[in-house]
Amino acid sequence: AGSQTQSTAGTPRQSRRRKSLAITYEEGQGDGAEPRRARWEPRDWREQLERIREMRRSRDAPVDDMGVQKCYDSNAPPQVMRYQVLLALMLSSQTKDQVTSAAMLRLRRRGLTVDSVLQMDDDTLGQIIYPVGFWRNKVKYIKQTTAILKQKYGGDIPSTVEELVQLPGVGPKMAHLAMHIAWDSVAGIAVDTHVHRISNRLKWVKKETKYPEETRVALEEWLPRDLWKEINWLLVGFGQQTCLPVNPRCSQCLNQDICPAAKRL
């Protein structure tokens, strides 16, 4: 599950790195007090974040129109809505938002509920969700997870990250987004490939991370908690439009002058 924001880093070895550090004191201590261990922060991160917000102001990336938060029936009963959110997240793994959105629309046209999916045979479910990535595996996971929801949760979805990640086909990113969207609860940062890539390019992690889950832990150590929900939406759209996986559009990026990766790419 997502950890609470903590302070972990030590004193820097070289004075030239002091700009990226913020010294904090125990509550009630004033000048001359013994400082706590310095909390590491990336250099220029606040300015980088503001510029990304500016680039995302138009809200016209695929995630804005066809992301999971747009895939469920907002008029459905809360329990059905939450199930649809989880299903959309399961379909979205390694799949473009446009493909996920279309698959969800086809499912919703048939009445997308726990009971309707349990009554559907595997071949029919596969035909409906195709061509989402790894659709055959997702048919299996959707059926298994839906049965668990029916038997253990009365047709609803779990309300904790710990329980969500126990469901077949549900990983940490999906669990955190399910908490954000379905339960309006921030338990941690949802890190997908875009957030993972951009966090490493901007040096928002103390040392390079290889996996999204490592990136989540690293970000939660320093990023203020009130930004945890926003950061996924911001960086996913930014990654879809500007900070692309291959041939990023650095010349169009407002952060070109303060991005550690801009000159190398």
One domain for residues 122 and 210: no
Q: Judge whether 21 lies within some domain.
A: no
| Containing structural domain, residue 99 | 72-183
Please, what's the largest Cα pairwise distance for the chain?
A: 71
**Residue 198 within any structural domain of the chain:** yes
CATH of the domain at 211: 1.10.1670.10
Boundary of a domain, candidates 183, 203, 226:
183
Nearest to 95 by CA among 63, 73, 69, 65: 63
Say if 116 falls within a structural domain.
yes
Reading the chain (265 residues) residue by residue, the pLDDT tens digits are 444 444 444 444 444 443 443 433 334 444 555 555 678 999 999 999 999 999 999 999 999 999 999 999 999 999 999 999 999 999 999 999 999 999 999 999 999 999 999 999 999 999 999 999 999 999 999 999 999 999 999 999 999 999 999 999 999 999 999 999 999 999 999 999 999 999 999 999 999 999 999 999 999 999 999 999 999 999 999 999 999 999 999 999 999 999 999 965 5
Residues 142 and 201 placed together within one structural domain of the fold: no
Q: Clarify whether residues 155 and 134 are in a common domain.
A: yes
Amino acid identity at 8: T
Number of domains, the chain? 2
Identify the pLDDT of residue 214: 98
pLDDT given at position 38: 75
Query: Same domain for 94 and 132?
Result: yes
Give yes or no: residues 207 and 108 share one domain. Answer: no
CATH number, domain containing residue 110: 1.10.340.30
Domain co-membership, 86 together with 171: yes
199 and 126 fall within a common domain: no
Domain boundary pick from 148, 183, 218: 183
Are 169 and 197 members of one domain?
A: no
d(CA 193, CA 203): 15
Whether 108 and 165 map to the same domain: the answer is: yes
pTM: 0.83
CA distance 104 to 88: 7
Give the pLDDT of residue 35: 53
> Catalytic residues, which ones?
173
What lies within 8 Å, CB to CB, of 60 at 6+ separation is: 241
Question: Which residue, of 183, 202, 226, is where some domain finishes?
Answer: 183
In a domain, 164, yes or no: yes
Give 160's contacts (C-beta < 8 A, 6+ positions apart). Answer: 1, 179, 187
Q: Same domain for 78 and 176? A: yes
DSSP-based three-state secondary structure for 21: strand
Residue 21's pLDDT is 39
Residue 37 lies in a domain: no
Contact assessment for residue 72 and residue 84, using Cβ atoms and an 8 Å cutoff:
yes
Same domain, 86 and 125: yes
77 with 161, same domain: the answer is yes
